[in-house]
Amino acid sequence: MSCKLMSWLALGLSTLPAAAQTRTVYEGAGADPRISVSQPETTSQASGGYVRSVEPSLGPLGDPLGIRPVLKERGIAYSLTYIADVLGNPVGGLRQGAIVEDRLNLRLNLDLDRLAGWQGATVHANAYFIHGTGLSRYYVGNLLTTSVIEALPSTRLYVLWFDQSLMDGQLGIRIGQQAADTEFFVSQTATLFVNSTFGWPVITGLDLPSGGPAYPLAAPAIRAKYVPGNGFSLQVGLYDGDPAGANRPGDDPEAQRLNRTGTNFRLRDPALIIAEATYAYNIAPGSRGLPGDITLGGWQHFGRFDSLRFDITGVPLADPNATGIGRPVRGNAGLYAIYDQTLYRESGKDDEGLGFFVRAAWSPTRSSLIDAYLDTGLAYKGLFDGRDDDTIGLSVAYARISDEAQRADRDTILYSGMPMPRRRAEAVIEATYQAVVVPGFTVQPDAQYVIRPGAGIAGPDGRRLRNAAVLGVRATVQY
């Protein structure tokens, strides 16, 4: 192990982009070229693809009727992923407790070329069966949700889309119900982590209506992705701006209740546009440099939002004489950047080594609860001898409460005359280890430390919530 650590320290700076690359079809999370050697065996993040199945390890019980290869030959492929979390917070938060939650994910892919001779066309559907209680909602009270699978119990359609590949695969047009977190704002290295913010970051989850088009809610959309080659790609998505019709920002449970089955298919809400450009380097076979990518993106929501501080007459909402109706504020927008880099790749291996990621976002609009966000982390796949498929990681995320929201808190203190905490920021530190029992089956102990849960809100005793420790384990089976 010490030799591995010395090697990546020595080679970690050798990451300059090579010159022109040829395009590769080897996909990583987000359906992009694989640049992270530490992308894990399994992931609960929506952007992570299906990797290996546990089927071969089940022997005759894996496919007793022998239908999977027959269907696949005809263009029909299906897969299931089951994830179960056991999490608890022995210290801090709203109160101490433990939960069990699980999610069954059923995917169906139709290759219309094989089925009907329609070249370059595919159909994809994804459904969730969600059970259990959320630790963040009932015990911790934090904004950076402790588990990405946390949601209200339901059986729901997630995505259902048609994709047409054009220009010899360089252009893809996708139409249907889609989720932005499957393709936008994605770090391949970050897919290891359990906390939801390492998938769809909290800055978009809390600033956009109904949490934005991301788990557990998707929205009707059209997406275009252009991949001219040499590592460059450009994609833009036009989404219905409110997946549930809750008409208010944030990952509110009420939004999930309004679209309990995922079949609202809303089309008349103000639009949300997300666009990003990516340059992936050192991805061609035989490249001497270490692979990585740089992404620049942004979003613009064209709806109206309620002011965080003033009512429709211009009086602070905290004023006893206020109407209680927020003054309309136009739009929400933000910019983000991602740097995903392999720091060290083990000799002769394409999927073992050390990966690094950092993501930053800024949303200066007055409707934003979170105006600045940053996360970063390291993950190593195959660190320990004899455990080549295991992945270990450490990450940190930080979300800052906007100036407008902080001023609203000061108004509340002023008008009420009562001393109380003011929201400022929330952060989480996560350490995790994913152990592969057999291909397609992983067990993942996880530890998180939440700093200022709720960004510093008051608890039942009127004091700021104490920092919380979250401990747990996840089991994942892919079939």
The pLDDT assigned to 266 comes to: 93
The 3-state DSSP class for residue 357 equals: strand
The dotted CATH code for 2-478 is 2.40.160.180
Question: What is the average per-residue pLDDT within 269-277?
Answer: 97
Q: Which of 20-29, 50-59, 368-377 has the lowest mean pLDDT?
A: 20-29
* pTM score: 0.89
Residue spans of beta strands (DSSP E) within 282-369 = 292-311, 326-345, 353-362
Which sequence spans correspond to the domains of the chain? 2-478
Q: Quick check: 460 pLDDT over 90?
A: no
Given its phi and psi angles, is residue 286 left (phi above 0), alpha (psi -120 to 50 degrees) or beta?
A: left
The pLDDT assigned to 91 comes to: 96
The pLDDT assigned to 48 comes to: 78
Cα 30-34-35 angle, rounded to 5 deg: 110
The pLDDT assigned to 187 comes to: 95
Cα–Cα dist 303/272, whole Å: 8
The pLDDT assigned to 7 comes to: 39
Cα–Cα dist 387/4, whole Å: 14
The pLDDT assigned to 348 comes to: 81
Q: For residue 18, what pLDDT band results from cuts at 50, 70 and 90?
A: very low
Q: For residue 122, what pLDDT band results from cuts at 50, 70 and 90?
A: very high
User: Cα dist. 27→51, 83, 163, 218, 300 in Å?
Assistant: 10, 23, 17, 23, 28
**Residue 115 CB neighbours (<10 A):** 14
Q: Quick check: 309 pLDDT over 80?
A: yes
Question: What is the average per-residue pLDDT within 437-458?
Answer: 95
The pLDDT assigned to 252 comes to: 74
Question: What is the average per-residue pLDDT within 296-318?
Answer: 92
| Torsion of the alpha carbons at 202, 207, 210 and 213, rounded to the nearest 10 | -70
The pLDDT assigned to 52 comes to: 87
Express as a percent the part of the chain with pLDDT over 70: 94
**Tokens read off for 149:** 């699978």
Q: Quick check: 4 pLDDT over 70?
A: no
Cα–Cα dist 428/395, whole Å: 8
Cα 136-145-51 angle, rounded to 5 deg: 125
User: Cα dist. 85→187, 200, 326, 473 in Å?
Assistant: 22, 19, 38, 6
Q: For residue 13, what pLDDT band results from cuts at 50, 70 and 90?
A: very low
- Nearest alpha carbon to residue 204 among 190, 184, 222: 184
Question: What is the average per-residue pLDDT within 426-445?
Answer: 97
The pLDDT assigned to 45 comes to: 85
3-state secondary structure 4-56: HHHHHHHHCCCCCCCCCCCCCCCEEHHHEECCCCCCCCCCCCCCCCCCCCCHH
- pLDDT digit string, tens, across residues 175-221: 999 999 999 999 999 999 999 999 999 999 999 999 999 999 999 99
Q: For residue 318, what pLDDT band results from cuts at 50, 70 and 90?
A: confident
The 3-state DSSP class for residue 253 equals: helix
- Nearest alpha carbon to residue 28 among 140, 235, 242, 189: 189
DSSP string, 146-214: S-TT---SEEEEEEEEEEEEEGGGTEEEEEEEE-GGGTSS--SGGGG--SGGGTS-HHHHHHSBTT-SB
- pLDDT digit string, tens, across residues 279-302: 999 988 878 889 999 999 999 999
The 3-state DSSP class for residue 433 equals: strand
CA 346 to chain centre: 28
The burial of 385, by beta-carbon neighbours within 10 Å (0-12 exposed, 13-18 middle, 19 or more buried), is given as: exposed
Contact status, residue 125 vs residue 107, Cβ threshold 8 Å: yes
Q: Quick check: 142 pLDDT over 50?
A: yes
Q: For residue 155, what pLDDT band results from cuts at 50, 70 and 90?
A: very high
- pLDDT digit string, tens, across residues 239-269: 999 999 887 887 777 888 899 999 999 999 9
Q: Which of 204-213, 224-233, 316-325, 446-455 has the lowest mean pLDDT?
A: 316-325
Non-local (6+) Cβ contacts of 12 within 8 A are 343, 344, 354
Non-local (6+) Cβ contacts of 272 within 8 A are 208, 212, 213, 219, 238, 239, 240, 241, 299, 300, 301, 302
Question: What is the average per-residue pLDDT within 400-408?
Answer: 94
Q: For residue 15, what pLDDT band results from cuts at 50, 70 and 90?
A: very low
- Whether the upstream peptide bond of residue 216 has omega within 30° of 0, thus cis, is yes
- Nearest alpha carbon to residue 357 among 382, 337, 373: 337
Helices (H), 67-136: 68-73, 112-116, 135
Name the residue type at position 470. V
Q: Quick check: 320 pLDDT over 80?
A: yes
Average pLDDT, the chain: 90
